Chains A and B, each alone.
Chain A
Amino acid sequence: MTANLLEIRDLHKSYGPVEVLKGVDCDVRAGEVISIIGSSGSGKTTILRCVNMLEEFEGGTIRIDGEEIGYSTAGGQRKRKAEKEIARQRALTGMAFQQFNLFPHMTALENVTLGLTLVRKMGREEARALGENWLDRVGLLQRKDHYPAKLSGGQQQRVAIARAIAMSPRLMLFDEVTSALDPELVAEVLQVVRSLAEDGMTMLLVTHEMRFAYEVSSRVIFMNGGRIGEEGNPREMFAAPKTERLAAFLQSSRFN
């Protein structure tokens, strides 16, 4: 049995009185590409946000390479880890956001190298070389000295992905990375994600791009009302959904 890279057990998360995750279990092995689909409010994004502790969660455990994320449980007492430790654990995962969230006061290259110098403690030159390497990889080396405001949405998202991946995370989290983009810019971003998947990067992606999920995923998770409604191989799932909810969801989704 191969060890799981990511192990989510009985994850519970509420926003005030609203429980958005009602016990989610999920194992991810190294190299897997997992798409999380489902209607809005089903808890897809919340899972990603719990994995890198952008959200606190009240119940369950998340482990990366066996290491418990965010909390430690000793003698039945659950305690939030120290802020420094959580910062270190966040760097185990990389995250790309729907809204890109590039730092507007830094050039594309500076966006990528900030974490390398501060968190990975690389020297300036080493960070620059690695940053340029990744910008080249997403096709934006010639734009390295541009500020985000001078880049298109698709270019900004590619820089944001380079920023996350340059940190060599164990796991990449993609949170609806194409939802804020004009339709004609979606393809260039998906192409980057696809090439990372082909390189064997382990990733968890929340997406509304059904065809993309179908094509790149080794497994698809359908979230329904805070629980996993169905999961499996995309070919089987999309061809023959076992639940009515998934059938209805797929019917209503654009499959382009």
Chain B
Amino acid sequence: MNPPLSFFDIVWLARWPLLYGLGTTVAISALAILGGTVLGTGLGLALTYGNRSVRGIARVYTDVIRGTPVLVLVLASFYILGTVGLDLSAFQAGVLALTLFCASHVGEITRGALQTLHKGQTEAAKAIGLTFGQTFRYVLGPQALRLALPPLINTAAEMVKASTLLSVIGVAELLLRTQEVISRAFHSLEFYLLAGFLYFLVNFAIERLGRYVERRVSLA
């Protein structure tokens, strides 16, 4: 009779499902953060510089999405969009929901950072003849980025954690994979600790990367 398998043997046997799960988690988070940042920057611009109606629309979007639980967004994106003929896979629907959620946060962060900048910056840029696009790209954007970086990193970490909610609609990300492994091999405490550790690693990497960028762009 074989000796009983140790926990580490089981982890080794389950390495592929777990790694796929981790990869899926990273992919979901990366796509949501990337899409959310692009969309959110536009939203922040609309909130700050838009005319009345543009501002109003952006404001409603931001408040509604930020005020909705992410799980509700995920479920709505998966079940409701299907009924109106937009047929998304669970992965696509989940990424869409997280992207929209991320954008609402990035929008607020961007608006906050832009409004903190002294209006003299815009005026000085205008005075030398810069267009609005040039002013944003060369004068306001770089300064706003420095202010926004810490809360942006925080939001990125939140998105990694929120990606676990996609397990509910059957996306085989790290949490769901872990649960599947547990259902066959038990050791639930150890596997949840392992999953927790892997999530920590991802967020630790994000935090380190953020610090690195902060240092690179700092003026000191």
Contacts of A102 in B (CB 8 A): 124
Interface string of A68-93 (1 = CB under 8 A from B): 00000000000000011001101101
Q: Does B116 contact A (CB under 8 A)?
A: no
A205–B219 alpha-carbon span in the complex (Å) = 33
B142 within 8 A of A: yes
Q: Is the CB of B143 within 8 A of A105?
A: yes
Inter-chain contact A114/B127, CB cutoff 8 Å: no
A115 touching B219 by the CB < 8 A rule? no
Contact partner of B121 (CB less than 8 A), chosen from A84, A95, A103, A114, is A103
Chain A residue nearest to B124 (CB atoms) is A101
B16 at the interface (CB under 8 A from A): no
Known: A101-B118, A101-B120, A149-B219. A87 touches B131 (CB 8 A): yes
Measuring CB to CB, which residues of chain B are less than 8 angstroms from any residue of chain A? 118, 120-121, 123-132, 134, 138-139, 142-143, 146, 219
- Residue of A54, A83, A147 near B127 (CB, 8 A) is A54
In this complex, what residue of B is CB-closest to A95? B127
A58 to B129, CA, bound (A): 22
Contacts of A52 in B (CB 8 A): 126-127
Does chain B have a CB within 8 A of A200?
Answer: no
Closest 5 CB pairs of A and B: A91-B129, A115-B128, A101-B124, A101-B120, A95-B127
CA distance A103 to B146 in the complex (A): 13
Task: Flag if B139 contacts A163 (CB, 8 Å).
Answer: no
The answer to whether the Cβ of A94 comes within 8 Å of any Cβ in the partner chain is yes
Task: Identify the closest chain A residue to B141 (Cβ).
Answer: A105
Contact of A103 among B131, B132, B139 (CB under 8 A): B139
Q: Assuming A97-B120, A103-B139, what are 4 further A-B pairs, CB within 8 angstroms?
A: A83-B131, A114-B128, A119-B130, A160-B124
Closest to B138 in A: A114
Sample (27) of A-B pairs whose CB atoms are under 8 Å apart: A52-B126, A53-B126, A54-B123, A83-B131, A83-B132, A87-B126, A87-B131, A90-B127, A90-B128, A97-B120, A97-B123, A99-B118, A99-B120, A101-B118, A103-B121, A103-B124, A103-B125, A103-B143, A104-B143, A105-B142, A114-B138, A115-B129, A115-B130, A118-B130, A160-B124, A163-B124, A164-B127
Assess the A91–B128 pair: CB atoms within 8 A.
Answer: yes
Instruction: Tell me the complex Cα distance, A119–B135, Å.
Output: 11
Cα A207 to Cα B124 in complex, Å, equals 19
Q: What range describes how many residues of A lie at the interface?
A: 20 to 34
B139: chain A residues at CB < 8 Å are: 103, 114
Contacts of B134 in A (CB 8 A): 118
Pick from A101, A104, A119, A147: contact of B129, CB under 8 Å: A119
Query: Is chain B's binding surface mostly helix, strand, loop or mixed?
Result: helix
Measured between beta carbons, the chain A residues less than 8 angstroms from B143 are 103-105
A193 at the interface (CB under 8 A from B): no
Separation in Å of the A57 CB from the closest CB of chain B?
15
Q: What residues of A have a CB within 8 angstroms of the CB of B121 in the complex?
A: 101, 103
Q: Write the nearest CB–CB distance from A189 to chain B, whole angstroms.
A: 16
Which of A87, A95, A97, A163 has the largest count of B CB atoms less than 10 A from its CB?
Answer: A87
In the complex, the chain A residue whose C-beta lies closest to that of B140 is A103
Question: A101, B123: Cβ atoms under 8 Å?
Answer: yes
The interface residues of chain B lying within 8 Å CB-to-CB of A163 are 124, 128
Question: Which one of A88, A102, A115, A147 has the highest number of Cβ atoms from chain B below 10 Å of its Cβ?
Answer: A115
Question: A84 vs B133: C-alpha distance in the bound complex, in angstroms?
Answer: 10
Measured between alpha carbons, how far is A147 from B219 in the docked complex, in Å? Answer: 8
Instruction: Using known A-B contacts A87-B126, A97-B120, determine if residue A104 contacts B131 with beta carbons closer than 8 Å.
Output: no
- Contact partner of B126 (CB less than 8 A), chosen from A54, A114, A147, A164, is A54
A167 interfacial contact with B, CB 8 Å: yes
Measured CB to CB, the closest approach of chain A to B12, in angstroms, equals 50
Q: Which of A84, A104, A167 contacts B128 (CB 8 A)?
A: A167
Q: Name the contact of A97 in the complex, choosing from B124, B129, B130, B219 (C-beta under 8 A).
A: B124
Among A83, A118, A160, A163: residue with most chain B CB under 10 A: A118
CB nearest to B132 among chain A residues: A83
Chain A residues with Cβ below 8 Å from B118 are 99, 101
